[in-house]
Amino acid sequence: MYQIEEPTYFYYLAIIPAIIVLFLFAFWWKKRIQKRFADHILIQKLSPEKSTFKSFLKITVICLALAFLIISLANPKMGTKLETVKRQGVDIVFALDVSKSMLAEDIAPNRLEKAKQIITKVIENLGSDRIGIIIYAGSSYPLLPITTDYAAAKMFLQNATTEMVSNQGTAINSAIERALSYYDNEEQTNRFLVIVSDGEDHQENTIELAKEAAKKGIKVYTVGVGTAKGAPIPLKDNGRVIGYKKDSKGMVVVTQMNEPTLRDIANAGNGKYLYGNRTQETIDTIKKVLEKADKNEFETKQFSDYEDQFQWFVGIGLLLLIIDVTLLEKKTKWVQKLNLFNEK
């Protein structure tokens, strides 16, 4: 398992393509100047040992050396010991609505991005709790199993799109059904399901499933994103709006947030409805709920005793610099005899 201590140093890697561009420009400019004084054949006769290949080899070695030295500044670390750690926390599963209606832009930038922002902020405020993520539209799918790896959770979350679920529609009941079997610790007394959605629901047994979840000790919280006024669902091509979704009669579909449905689900699930458009208030409320909940002890494995690995990259970088110094831009005699690079 690797960790990067200072990932911001990776921005310096942008120097390398800049060096390559400057080298190519200088090479082109030099060739252009040479043509003013003599043709290509005469220049070869005047400098028979000049090697074009060596010039490109030297710049390649320099760029590789810089890359290794920059990586060393970031200080990669490797975990050398896997140990079992006991923690106390609750299990919280997020059910993210990825139906097409979540692309409506009645809140900026759109409902889906607002939903992901809320979940991300909640994750950043967690302590030792375990999290899982479910995505759903017409059906539900597990995006991330119960874990304490918050970095992985945020990465998977940011990659969630409406294209992940081919079966479109909005079936909140499918998300609740999956959540009922999603928790892997039956002894956990405090389990939470947070449904982040615009409230559109095309099924009828959602309330009954929320009640069933409450009986099993799962508190169902709902977070509404969108507005009662609603907005059309944009159709985009390469980020540009090319039209809006229409119904079978050719009328533009306007999707509205269904707040009453989300309230009913939360009440049936022994939880609470939260108005997601007030982002910070929603995050603070969830944080307080989790802080007050009774914590359950569980075990998790993690790497410890991370050791610095920067010295390997420094060594390789310095070695490449030494190689670059020893490389001359003239042709190597024995290579010239072999004519490996078709140099005359």
Residue 169 sits in a domain of what CATH number?
3.40.50.410
Is the same domain home to 54 and 23? yes
Q: What is the pLDDT of the chain when averaged over all its residues?
A: 84
The answer to whether residue 86 sits within a structural domain is no
Q: pLDDT digits over 181-233, tens only?
A: 888 766 666 789 999 999 987 777 899 999 999 998 899 999 999 999 999 99
Is the same domain home to 173 and 234? yes
Give the whole-angstrom CA distance, residue 224 versus residue 53. Answer: 63
Percent share of the chain, pLDDT over 90: 48
Give the total number of structural domains in the chain: 2
The percent of the chain in helix, strand and coil, each rounded to the nearest 5, is: 45, 25, 30
Which pLDDT value is given to residue 41?
A: 64
The answer to whether residue 128 sits within a structural domain is yes
Q: How far apart are the first and last CA of the chain?
A: 50
Range in 31-45, 101-115, 188-202 the model is least confident about = 31-45
- Between 82 and 169, name the one with better pLDDT: 169
- pLDDT band of residue 138 (cuts 50, 70, 90) is confident
The answer to whether residue 343 sits within a structural domain is no
Is the same domain home to 233 and 313? no
- Between 185 and 339, name the one with better pLDDT: 185
Tally of CB atoms within 10 A around 150: 15
- The answer to whether 179 touches 219, Cβ cutoff 8 Å, is no
What is the model's pTM?
A: 0.65
| 344 alpha-carbon distance from chain centroid | 51
The answer to whether residue 57 sits within a structural domain is yes
The answer to whether residue 344 sits within a structural domain is no
What number is the average pLDDT over the span 172-177? 92
Domain housing 286: 91-300
Is the same domain home to 292 and 318? no
The answer to whether residue 29 sits within a structural domain is yes
Is the same domain home to 51 and 135? no
- Between 99 and 303, name the one with better pLDDT: 99
